[in-house]
Amino acid sequence: MDNCSLVASLPDFSEFPKFNLEQWQVWFVGAAFRVMSSCPPEGVTIFFQSDVKHEGLWVDKAFLCQLAARQLGHGLLWHKVVARVPPGNPTFGRPGYSHLLCFAPALRPPLGNSTADVLPQRGRSTWSRGLGLEVCRLICRYLVKNTGTRRVVAPFCGEGLLLAVANQMGLEAVGIELSRKRAEKARNLSDTEVIG
């Protein structure tokens, strides 16, 4: 797909009841590979991922995304941390932060275009695992300022907050979602209702 950038938040291990952890990791790297391989030279692929803990062990989704990028030869432009809870508070099943990673096949923006590496909050969200409003705004501002792409393609778009923010900022947005319930919410999401 030409003149687009991609934004994805790939599903957790918990959403694959028939997979063991190793099977899900293979699926995850393959899915990340397929998403990134759709990115045109002028675009970027951004992943928003929260790690999980399984049987006492940490599962690092940023690492899995980077495995896929390495297979494709895509560079990591930046890796940001988004706080899910205020710093200093312990968490149990999920870490207190999420990863926000940006990969590109060819684009190499000037270092002067850098933004903060740590976001103190993700902002309001329409559901517990979705991107927050502040994350969506950061992503869309980055695309407008640093890429020539004016279309956002969001596989696994969830309830569509990114799509609404992208449209509000003058970007075309295409969402893909398997869950009928989430897709319906994305289709009916009102700018004023969520974005204010």
End-to-end Cα separation, the chain, in angstroms = 31
Q: Tokens 């790939």 belong to which residue?
A: 10
pLDDT range class, residue 190, cuts 50, 70, 90: low
pLDDT tens-digit series, residues 32-66: 999 999 999 999 999 999 998 888 889 999 999 99
Residue 33's pLDDT is what?
98
Total domains in the fold of the chain:
1
pLDDT tens-digit series, residues 8-36: 999 988 888 899 999 999 999 999 999 99
DSSP summary character for residue 184: H
Q: Residue 28's domain spans which residues?
A: 5-194
Mean residue pLDDT across the chain: 89
Please give the model's pTM, rounded to 2 decimal places.
0.92
pLDDT tens-digit series, residues 158-183: 878 899 999 999 999 988 877 777 76
Is 70 exceeded by the pLDDT of residue 7? yes
- What CATH number is given to the structural domain containing 67? 3.40.50.150
